[in-house]
Structure 1
Amino acid sequence: MKKLIMMAVTVAASATAFAQDNVVKEAQKLCDKGEFEEALKIITPALTSDATTDKAAAWNTLNNIHYQKFAGIQQKKAESEIKKDNTPYDTLGMHRSIIAAMEAALKCDEFDRQPNEKGKVKIRFRKANQDRYQMGRLNLIQAGLFEYNHKNLDNAQKAWTLYIDSAEDPMFTDIDLTKDEYRAEIAYFAGLVSYQKKDYASAVKYAKIAAQDSAKAADANEILLFSQKENCKTKEDSLAYVGILKDLHKQKPNEDKYFNLLMEYYSAPGRQAERMKWLEEEITADPNNKMAWALKGEAEMNSQKWNEAVESYKKALEIDPNFIQVIFNIGVCLNSKAIELKDQLADKKTGGLTTANLNKVKEVLNQALTYMEKAKEQDPSREKVNWAYPLYQIYYSLGNKEKSAEMEKLLGN
């Protein structure tokens, strides 16, 4: 009895498999008659059914359905353009069909190259699909452009990434499609649309391909850089981002945006030591980089290293004598140094200063005054630097009542 049951199960399974394979054949017949929607209805379940023994044939039938639909609409389009009669045709259907056809062809090849029940590989559909898509895949470019112009970013990405990825798919074994004239351009568009979709991993992937072409390298590197920046989730991501940024800065040292992005990165909390190391690298690479000297001075000023800060700022002034922010900051540093010096030299009991020590403090204050008055002279309306309060402090400390009162009035006190 058990043997009979097993035989019945086997017969039933064989019948089901036979029925599913017949479905594939029926779908192809409907396709050949141009009944594409009906063909799609019956082929779709067979693609994933365990009863379908020939998945490669099923996917190839789906490929045929979509491609023949695409080809039919494309023919109508061509005839309309020749006749100039404006005959309507399904533009959306045409572009969606070539995308779906290409996907199905690649899936067909994936199953086709799998070993059969005897462990042998017998590829049946590859040659026909190579002939169809070696040139036919070019239609993916226009499909992507149509979808992109109609704000369908998902399908635009699908079309353009299919175009790039299919060139290296096993379906095109022995055919080199990686050197075509459109590869870099479409890789750039694939990277761009991926970035716009916030799919940063894909954006990086395709931007790297586009960047291999010198004509697209600059634009592709922008996508690569900002995708990496947006995708900084781990320490490794951050290091990858700053590595790309440094490479681009090295390639184009006069491009301010790369320097500014590095400055932004190293200005983040907790990166003070890294920032100083980077600035020293910048100065070594270009001793005439006034911004590097100014930023070094700023870092030293924030650490209350007044002498070091002043020296760095003076280096920046040697390069640009009218660097107003640096002039102002030297004044601030020297004023702060004078305040600190006064506290250090003051008598521990009385808080007073000897004449000699007072003169030491005044000497530094007068140096501060020189720079702060120069800042006032260059920026009288205080649009770039607000010199009023530091100048009031200096005048007051020097005992210049008239000038300190003038500043106090300016401050509204």
Structure 2
Amino acid sequence: MKKMMMMAMMLVASATAFAGDSDALKAILKAKTYAEADALVKSSLASLANDAEKAKAYNKLVDLAMDQFLAQSTIQTENQLAKQMGREEKPVDEKLMAEMAYNALLAAQECDSYDQKPNEKGKVKPLFAEKNAQRLWVAPRNSLVNAGQEALTNKDNATARKFWQMFAESDAFPLFKNCDREQQKPYFGQVARFAAVFAYQDKDMEKALQLSDIAMKDPQEYENALNLKLEILGSELKTKEDSVKYCNQLKDIYAEHKVDGVMEKLYNVMQGLGDEAAAVKILDDALAENPNNFVALADKGLALLQAQKAAEAIEYLKKAYEVKPDNAVIATYAGTAYSLEAQNTEDPAKQKALYKEAVTFFDKAKELDPDRLQSNWGYNRWSAYYNYYGPDAPETQQAEADSK
């Protein structure tokens, strides 16, 4: 009797340990099309027995999406041969291909999230990650790039964003961690940045920032993506609290990315908030690290010029010009600083020398920007000529004509 009870208990235990798929999963696995399986997964996900079943269900979606993707891909390949042989080509549903590539990637991500969870023994033994990585990494993801470009050509920005965003974000899917990224290097960052731009245009700020961060990982897109991120962060400043928050965000970004563009924005925001001491310290710290930092030299010189501290402004603006002697704006500011210092000087000889320097810098500005597209050097140059050469000198009269 005891022996029979023990055998019965063993049979029960065996039946429990090796229980078959739930009815909900069986129905999903019997589905013939992606649409049918997708509807079943959405309606019965909570009915699935465990994480393993949920992984199987989502992998079925990957299978069915890839079946449709590959069917169209096969037609493409056959058409290439048909074209070479002068035969009639079959129609390819490229829109369906892209949609199924998108669906396959989305399902694979969900599949992997359950597939990577510990089993009943507490061990992680993924069943689908390797296969899904192999079949999804190249052709399906690349088809999203092409489909996004086609959508952009058709002025369908929403679809372009959808496909390019999936391409960019799927790069970080854990199942793709060991994939070779060499092939996508030439265009990955650009696609991510364009997706960020579309998200920004859609007022989806959080996603736009995330995509900007992804694009910044590409050295070729780093500067453009960072500028976009800064624009997004500063696009909706309405209150002082918004500006304070933006200032703190800039501090964090500058701590991570010692970039002049970030430094300058941080400096300007601090000035706008009235924290002049902190703003000046930003420039002083940058110059302590690099005495030839053009942005810091120019900003410091301009601030001193605006504060009517011409002698100090000359020091920084002159050095900034030495760093970038092709910059007409800095040449103009340097000339203005010399003119202002001359006005503050009572010694005639010293005043004459300062106006001479001013004329030199204004002439450089004119040479660099003759049409005054970047800097309006005209009146200030004439004024310097007037004080150096005198009102009736032909040089002064020519300078006056140049200023009009």
| Same-fold status (TM-score > 0.5) | yes
Distance 1:282 1:86, change over 3 A: same
Is the contact made by 2:267 and 2:283 (CA closer than 8 Å) also made in structure 1? Answer: no
Q: 2:62·2:104 contact (CA, 8 Å) conserved in 1?
A: yes
Residues 143, 375 of structure 1: alpha-carbon distance in 2 compared, 3 angstrom cutoff: closer
Contact kept in structure 1, 2:37 and 2:60, CA below 8 Å: no
Seen in structure 2, the aligned counterparts of structure 1 residues 128 and 371 have a Cα distance that, compared at 3 Å, is: closer
Across the aligned residues of Structure 1 and Structure 2, the Cα RMSD in angstroms comes to 4.5
Partner of 1:240: 252
User: 1:100 deviation in Å?
Assistant: 1.0
* Change beyond 3 A, Cα 1:185–1:177: farther
Q: Which residue of 1 aligns with 2:12?
A: none
Tell me what 2:195 maps to: 194
Q: Which amino acid aligns with 1:139?
A: A
1:150-161, aligned counterparts within 5 Å? Answer: 150-151=151-152, 152-161=159-168
In 1, are the aligned partners of 2:62 and 2:105 still within 8 Å (CA)? yes
| Deviation of 1:87 (Å) | 0.4
The aligned residue for residue 357 of structure 1 is: none
Letter in 2 for 1:82: L
For the pair 1:223 / 2:219, whether they are aligned, the reply is no
The within-5 A match list for 1:32-51 is: 36-37=34-35, 39-40=36-37, 42-48=39-45, 50-51=46-47
CA gap of 1:43–1:123, structure 2 versus 1, over 3 A, is farther
CA distance in 2, matches of 1:292, 1:282: 7
1:289-328 map, 5 Å:
293=297, 295-312=299-316, 323-328=331-336
Cα displacement (A) at 1:327: 2.4
Establish whether residue 111 from structure 1 lines up as the match of residue 118 from structure 2: no
**Residues 83-102 of structure 1 correspond to what in structure 2 (within 5 A)?**
83-84=82-83, 85-102=88-105
Task: Please say if residues 311 and 337 of structure 2, whose CA atoms lie closer than 8 Å, have aligned partners that are also in contact.
Answer: no
Q: 1:83 to 1:209 in 2, by over 3 A?
A: same
Shift of 1:223: 1.6
Whichever of the two has the greater Rg, that structure is 1
Q: Secondary structure at the match of 2:80?
A: helix
| TM-score of the pair, normalised by structure 2 | 0.64
Structural mapping, 1:400-411, within 5 Å:
none
- In structure 1, the partner of 2:240 is none
Q: Which of 18, 21, 24 is residue 20 of structure 1 equivalent to?
A: 24
* Counterpart position of 1:148: 148
Moved more, 93-102 or 180-189: 180-189
Call closer, same or farther: CA 1:282–1:239 in 2, change over 3 Å: closer
Amino acid at match of 1:164: D
Once the 2 structures are TM-superposed, how far is the Cα of residue 91 of structure 1 from its aligned partner? 1.1
- Please tell me whether the aligned partners of residues 334 and 361 of structure 2 are also in contact (alpha carbons under 8 angstroms): no
Aligned 8 A contact 1:23 1:42 in 2: no
* SS of structure 2 residue aligned to 1:165: coil
Contact 2:355–2:384, Cα closer than 8 Å, also in 1: yes
Deviation at 1:286, TM superposition (A): 5.8
Residue 90 of structure 1 aligns to which amino acid in structure 2? D
> Match of 2:267?
266
**Equivalent position of 1:181 in the other structure:** 182
- After superposition, the C-alpha distances for 1:260-302 in whole angstroms (9 at most, x for unaligned) are 6644553442464345445445555665677755543332232
- Report the CA distance between 1:88 and its aligned residue: 0.3
Please list the CA deviations of residues 214-273 of structure 1 after superposition, one character each: whole Å capped at 9, or x if unmatched: xxx233343245324533553332013334553x5xxxxxxxxx5x66445534424643
Structure 2 gaps of 5+ residues are 1-20, 153-158, 201-206, 235-244
